[in-house]
Amino acid sequence: MVIGMGRSSRAPASDYARAIDTLLDAGLEYRRFGAGALMLAHVAAGQLHAYYEAHMNSWDALAGMLLIEEAGGTCNAFLANAGLRRGNLVLAGCASVQPRLAALLAK
């Protein structure tokens, strides 16, 4: 599996490094193409299996998350905890991948 990763200055760099270590230890690959919105579109198009970023603003995340859901994928509850105003973690992907990835990154 290939997972897109985003990096936000609103989350500690150590969290980003820990997520990368977790993915690599599980035998997964990760890519970073730049804009998180673009990588969410890559997930919806089937070019990535999932996307993870510790913090995204709603205006960067919601359109891509809608694309993924319309393509049959699954997304986390981005709007929880005032996500619309404050932003939130993004974990979105193929319906068969996203729950497994959520469990892996929660460890």
What residue spans define the domains of the chain? 2-106
The pLDDT, as a whole number, for residue 7 is 92
What residues are designated binding site for Mg(2+)?
Answer: 60
| Average pLDDT rounded to a whole number, residues 32-42 | 93
Architecture of domain 2-106: 3-Layer(aba) Sandwich (3.40)
Band of pLDDT at residue 42, cut at 50, 70 and 90: very high
pLDDT at 57 over 90: yes
The separation between CA 85 and the C-alpha centre of its own chain, rounded to angstroms, equals: 18
* Cβ atoms of 54 and 17 closer than 8 Å: no
pLDDT at 83 over 90: no
The pLDDT, as a whole number, for residue 107 is 76
The pLDDT, as a whole number, for residue 18 is 92
CA-CA-CA-CA torsion sign (26, 37, 77, 68): negative
What residues are designated binding site?
Answer: 60
Question: pLDDT exceeding 70 applies to what percent of the chain?
Answer: 100
